[in-house]
Structure 1
């Protein structure tokens, strides 16, 4: 980094007047690299930084460029979006660079997504995009450009703690909060990252875009998985991983074989519709409980079988106080979020013998391996983000009957 972030340096900086980004230098001498996707959020960030007198450079990543995705409503980081970013930068009279990250994006995001999905998981590619591309490769590019700050349009915020270190917080607007996708951000990255929209609503942002005269003021938001042209994951998986769609049996948790399927990649945990069972499930609504890619089995059961008591985690990133290993053996009370569309719920985090798991105070439904499990200090807006990990396996909250045990053993999945 261009400046020291030791506690001593932070204390010395605190005795000098800080600019709006928390740095002890005039805006004109503070270089801000803005990650511009071509959408309204990042465009407003660039405009705000320019208005406040910062030395602004806009950088757009070209992540993919394939056919229908280029002009599809809700896409990002390709085709028209790059052109929109270029036009906004011209409007603001700031330098704009387009970086070709297609190969890195394919290697670090698309291919792992395909592999994870083919193994029966529910991956979150936006987390990988942030941690492996935006806050890794782009982070290094920003440093090469002499940046003091890398700013993005995410709805989340950072603040300085008592030691002068930047810590991550949820956004003011809980409906727009994107901290779920940013749990893998490291402490080092947080020192340089800024999120100017963290205390705004989307209405506020669009109003600013109109005031700045930006052509993207009314542009639709990008969808989560930008590189799936028609939103149909199975098509992408079959193209990238030929043979991933292996037909097999649909098995009830009591051991009954109810039907056949064309591949586990066509199903997700908690799915009810489109099971193709006909009369096999008459009288009892059935849901996908487990996916066993290795055994080509889709395990189904009643809604209560979706209840999850415990989630085991991998690749845990801890950005709370101290270290993950310092947590008491009896666990720590936290709030956890297991899907981007759900609010945080009460749980208890355990870190033992090099591993970590979360126990839910109240059983959670439809918890799937591959999803993110994000830790918070509370369930309120602006709560501190403590980190998170990816779910590697789950444990059911219901008792398992002998027939279910045999079915689970055959499927090689816990229920």
Structure 2
């Protein structure tokens, strides 16, 4: 009998994934990754993941399914690979997506290695995505989840061929409504549990406050500049801002102002109008390709620059230095360094990378 290690977050999706793998005949073991001490008083369980409630919910489902269940302590790895990277990105004037790093370095590195050490056949998560083997190319493909409103392929673009060969996403074939119905029918305690919304280590959403506490450094104030490079006010520190931000600037102007540029080296934040936020080209580094070995020649794709951003038609290619170049048919608003650009061919993920620059033309 084949064996599956189920990454159980305490949510309904991973719980139903475990049930579906049992129904496919797998011997299943549940595992929750302890990543962060998230037991502050007053933090509502529906706002974030990684709480004691989540562990108990996962344990309850595993017990109901008669599965062995473990909690693996990866807090040191999480601090190094996710929290440190998050802080470093903000200090560079970038806006990171820590969920991508968590998937890459924790779920599909540390937990994946644990799966191999336990001599199991596959790792299973509750992501809304699909893995398909393509006979023609001999490659494993990552495809969108069938529930387009819940598709999570964007945060999984770093998966390698080896990882895809030993990964399953059972709920990727279902809608969220169907998943909840299955959980309800099987008496799961988390059948109606809301999806987590916030970053687990910043449950109050105050990223700058977290960074100051984490580093022990107080933000340095600096100059707000207009697009001509002229000082027009004082900012609170570059970690307080992200590209496209409008609220919380504290600047009076006859027209709305937005953050258009962040320069930590000069400790400046540039403000401009909405028209100043649009760029047609971007570059990305730390590139991973899934559906092909290379992008030496330009290819037509649909490109996504943020998790909730609709895909847009574009042309993409890689230069010999490994840098991914994407040129959109139409200028895109607030392309942000530190976010991921993910390329699609229909439902299939071509690959992606971390955005490192944006150009107007």
Shared fold (TM-score, shorter chain, > 0.5): yes
TM-score (norm 1): 0.84
Distance 1:118 1:351 in 2: 28
CA contact (8 A) 1:47 1:212 kept: no
| Structure-1 residue corresponding to 2:316 | 349
Give 1:71 deviation, angstroms.
Answer: 5.2
Q: Any stretches of 5+ residues in structure 1 without a counterpart?
A: 1-28, 398-415
TM-score (norm 2): 0.96
| Range with greater deviation from structure 2 (45-54 or 353-362) | 45-54
Task: Deviation per CA, 1:63-95: give whole Å up to 9, x if none.
Answer: 011442865422212311111111111111110
Please point out which of 332, 338, 345 is paired with 1:370: 338
- Structure 1 position 266 matched with structure 2 position 240: yes
Please point out which of 5, 27, 33 is paired with 2:5: 33
| Structure-2 residue corresponding to 1:318 | 289
Give 1:38 deviation, angstroms.
Answer: 0.5
Please point out which of 80, 83, 99 is paired with 2:72: 99
| Structure-1 residue corresponding to 2:349 | 385
Distance 2:340 2:94 in 1: 11
| Structure-2 residue corresponding to 1:238 | 212
CA contact (8 A) 1:318 1:388 kept: yes
Distance 2:38 2:10 in 1: 17
CA contact (8 A) 1:131 1:185 kept: yes
After TM superposition, the structure 1 = structure 2 runs for residues 8-23 of structure 1, keeping only pairs within 5 Å, are: none
CA RMSD of aligned residues (A): 1.4
Distance 2:38 2:183 in 1: 29
- Number of aligned positions between the proteins: 358
Task: Deviation per CA, 1:348-403: give whole Å up to 9, x if none.
Answer: 1121131221111110001110000001103xxxx000110000111124xxxxxx
**Which aligned runs of 4 or more in structure 1 are off by greater than 6 angstroms?**
none
Which protein has the bigger strand share? Answer: 2
Give 1:241 deviation, angstroms.
Answer: 2.4
Task: Deviation per CA, 1:291-349: give whole Å up to 9, x if none.
Answer: 1112111101111110111111110001122x22x522xx1111110010111111111
Distance 1:117 1:207 in 2: 40
CA contact (8 A) 2:140 2:291 kept: no
Indicate how the Cα distance of structure 1 residues 266 and 242 shifts in structure 2: closer, same or farther if over 3 A, else same: same
- Structure 1 position 226 matched with structure 2 position 200: yes
CA contact (8 A) 1:63 1:102 kept: yes
Distance 1:173 1:72 in 2: 25
Distance 2:238 2:340 in 1: 20
SS in 1 for 2:208: helix
Please point out which of 303, 310, 314 is paired with 1:336: 303
SS in 1 for 2:353: strand
| Range with greater deviation from structure 2 (51-60 or 131-140) | 51-60
Give 1:126 deviation, angstroms.
Answer: 0.5
| Structure-1 residue corresponding to 2:135 | 162
| Structure-1 residue corresponding to 2:230 | 256
Q: Give the structure with higher Rg (CA).
A: 1
CA contact (8 A) 2:38 2:200 kept: no
Q: Any stretches of 5+ residues in structure 2 without a counterpart?
A: none
Distance 2:234 2:151 in 1: 40
CA contact (8 A) 1:62 1:102 kept: yes
Task: Deviation per CA, 1:162-216: give whole Å up to 9, x if none.
Answer: 1553210011111101111011111110000010111211111100000111000
